Amino acid sequence: MNKDLIKKVFFNASLLIVSAIILYPIFLMIKISLSQPGDIFEKFTQKNLIWPKLGLTIEHWKNVYNSGLLFPSLIKSLKTATVVTFIAVLVAAPASYVISRIGNKKIKYLFIISLFISRVFPEVAIALPISVRFLSWNLIDTTLGLVLAHLIKVLPYVAWILVGTFEAIPKSLEEASFVDGAGRVKTLFNIIFPLSLPGISVAAMLVWLESWNEFTYALYLTVSENTLPLQTYYYINRGGIFNSAAYATIITVPVIILTFILQRYIKSGMLSGGVK
């Protein structure tokens, strides 16, 4: 048999196995959110161990909807994650570009390492003094307070990703733009940022997901208007696994939509032909 064919079959089989392992817990989550309690708590047999009995109901989704807590939590999480992503990319992109163009490598990497100083400490140790300070600023239980807290967490990651992205863009492209009469700002927006779209898309996706799933700061800075992860936690804490599964399923939907939207920008080879 052809070696290339064997490699292809092995790769596809491995991909299917890994995909099944990753997707099976998601299937169970959706299944629990749509199942009768008796179908879940009944004793498992060899027959239904891998594929539990499919008795579907939307009762748990109705309970979540009728509670009146879903949409306020959903809107707050969406608003917070979107604003955090926009501000993080807006602030980190120009700063990362400047760091990437520092000629002295020791100074450059000193800047990069310094970005992660805040990540050395446990998140709880940072969240507690922040909550005390935000209390005096009347930022508790506000979207602005969550946005500012999340930025502390995500800015180092965005800057780290984008520094590497900008370093991969040849300086000769900038020099050619300068020769054509473009200034620094015009070169940045017409040449550098368009070529950096894959890295910026990855950074934006990771920031949005990090803010969307964030729990610690939400726990410290929220009193009445919960975010979606916090609302899910309260249901889990009460032992309501079916409503919790419905909430957890809802949390995954925006993630899938965002990934689908941004994946078109995550392409390799955008620099091919840019330098001759």
Claim to verify: residue 159 and residue 102 sit in the same structural domain: yes
pLDDT tens per residue across span 104-144: 888 888 887 887 777 778 888 888 899 999 999 999 989 99
Distances (CA, A) of 174 to 99, 170, 252, 274: 16, 8, 40, 11
| Torsion over CA: 112, 117, 120, 124 (sign) | negative
Claim to verify: residue 139 and residue 46 sit in the same structural domain: no
**3-class DSSP state for residue 19?**
helix
Question: What residue ranges of the chain have pLDDT lower than 50?
Answer: 43-46, 49, 269-276
Closest CA to 253 of 79, 9, 51, 26: 26
The reported pLDDT for the residue numbered 40 is 67
Can you give the residue range of the structural domain that contains 24?
A: 1-57
Claim to verify: residue 207 and residue 233 sit in the same structural domain: yes
Eight-class DSSP state of 119: G
Distance between CA atoms of 39 and 262, rounded to whole angstroms? 38
Would you state the structure tokens that stand for residue 86, as one six-digit string? Answer: 């926009």
150: left (phi over 0), alpha (psi -120 to 50) or beta: alpha
Q: Check: CB of residue 81 under 8 Å from CB of residue 212.
A: yes
Give how many domains the chain has, as a whole number: 2
Claim to verify: residue 81 and residue 185 sit in the same structural domain: yes
